Amino acid sequence: IGKRYRRQDEIGTPYCITFDFNTVGTETDAADGCVTIRERDSMEQVRLPIGEVKAWLAQRVSF
């Protein structure tokens, strides 16, 4: 995943949203329905339920 983050950093993507095995679950583990959001400049990561992503981004991005 680090390589993908670096590629996105190079092209200027401000936030990366990662869906992983915890998000969708596996045969042995239930899905948690959360994604990881990584902020490009601070490299801060936060894990949020999918339903909260839109509001989280809206607080940080304005057009």
Pairing assessment for the beta strands 34-39 and 45-49 based on DSSP bridges: antiparallel
pLDDT recorded at residue 1: 65
- Sorted by where each starts, the structural domains of the chain and their CATH numbers stand as 2-60 (3.40.50.800)
Q: How much is the average pLDDT of 30-41?
A: 92
pLDDT band at 40 (very low <50, low <70, confident <90, very high): confident
pLDDT recorded at residue 7: 74
Query: Can you tell me the distance from the alpha carbon of 36 to that of 46, in angstroms, rounded to the nearest whole number?
Result: 6
The answer to whether the predicted template modeling score (pTM) of the entire model surpasses 0.75 is yes
Q: Is the pLDDT of residue 36 over 90?
A: yes
Residue % of the chain over a pLDDT of 70: 90
Q: How much is the average pLDDT of 39-62?
A: 92
How many other C-beta atoms are found inside a 10 Å radius of the C-beta of residue 38? Answer: 19
